Amino acid sequence: MTIFQRDGEPYFLLTQRTQEVATHKGQISFPGGLREEADSSLRETALREMEEEVGISADFVEVLGQFNQYRAVTNYRVTPFVAFLREGFSVALNPREVERILEVPLRFFYQTEPTEEIHHRFGRAVTLFFYNYQGHMIWGLTAAMIKDLIEFLDEDLL
């Protein structure tokens, strides 16, 4: 979960996935992906994926810590890291994986309650969260992570 500052205000850096990726085509997510054998840790996976997807070098990434673990509907265990991007970073999208970058102010999530829907997946009821930011639907696991982090953070930080 990548955060950066613009004009003194914190923003999330989100990606919209292309239609070419294997799963979650066109969905909005944080940079990230599967651990590879060469990765020594999940932290290293997160940094590698950040560079592969959006071209941001680990030199500009300050990992603040690991956040809650989640189970995706695909049954993958997702372990997000909260990271802050240092000034001077630039993006270079991997056109096979990322269609566009979305920069969404954290303030939006403090001021907006997500829509909730109950869906049944693999025989169990799952609550899905949805945020509509300027016509971009942020939903599912990404929305759940954002909701949980916003509840965890102190709004006075804004």
Considering the entire predicted model, what is its pTM? Answer: 0.90
The confidence band for 153, taking pLDDT boundaries of 50, 70 and 90, is: confident
Alpha helix (H) ranges present in the chain?
Answer: 42-54, 106-111, 140-152
Separation CA 153–CA 106 (nearest Å) = 10
Domain count, the chain: 1
- Among 30-34, 46-50, 143-147, the range scoring the smallest mean pLDDT is 30-34
Q: What is the CATH number of the domain that holds 22?
A: 3.90.79.10
**Could you report the per-residue pLDDT of 89-117, keeping only the tens digit for each?**
999 999 999 999 999 999 999 999 999 99
Residue 158 has a pLDDT of 56
Query: Beta-carbon neighbour count of residue 116 at 10 Å?
Result: 11
